[in-house]
Amino acid sequence: MNRRALYFGIAYSITVIIFKLLIVLGGYSLSTFGYFYSGITSVLLLVPFYYLAVRGTRNDYSGVIGGREVLRICLTIFAVGAVLVSIYNYFEFEYSGKALAIAYYNSEQFMTFLKAQPKIKAEDYQKIIVEQIKASEVSAFKATTGKLFSYILIGTISAFITSALMKRSAK
């Protein structure tokens, strides 16, 4: 295993955990960015770490690096990040996810969403809110698995794209 990839995977995980803690502890979880875009932003943060690790390794090899080695580096960063960020997501859900779901379903944002649905009657709003809160009481494992799907999809695709773009053969 490439040590540089391991270190960059740990650095990526620390960066994402700090980013997510700022959103949760700063009270931005129900904002538009915090609710809709923070997950994809944290996954897309992988790309600079891929680039920096591959660039550093390529410089160590005098500018020559094969595609398989690049892919190995990127997937190592991905695997380390997946494990550490998933552990964080588990604990985040256990300690703040359930309260956050209750706050969201009782918020004006969700009420606006309900009012925008033409098939839902006003007298059913409270019943829907209660059902949604009950449905949100899933286990932390299920919540972590749900977040892991997008992470796997985007992380592996970006690893393959990075390996295709950054490989260099001897001239």
32-62 per-position pLDDT tens digit? 787 778 888 998 999 999 999 999 999 888 8
Torsion angle, alpha carbons of 100, 102, 105, 108, to 10: -70
Report which listed range, 50-59, 120-129, 142-151, is most confident: 50-59
Q: Which two tokens stand for residue 149?
A: 């799907």
Angle, vertex CA 136, rays to CA 83 and CA 19, nearest 5: 40
**pLDDT grade for 79, boundaries at 50, 70 and 90:** very high
* pTM beyond 0.85: no
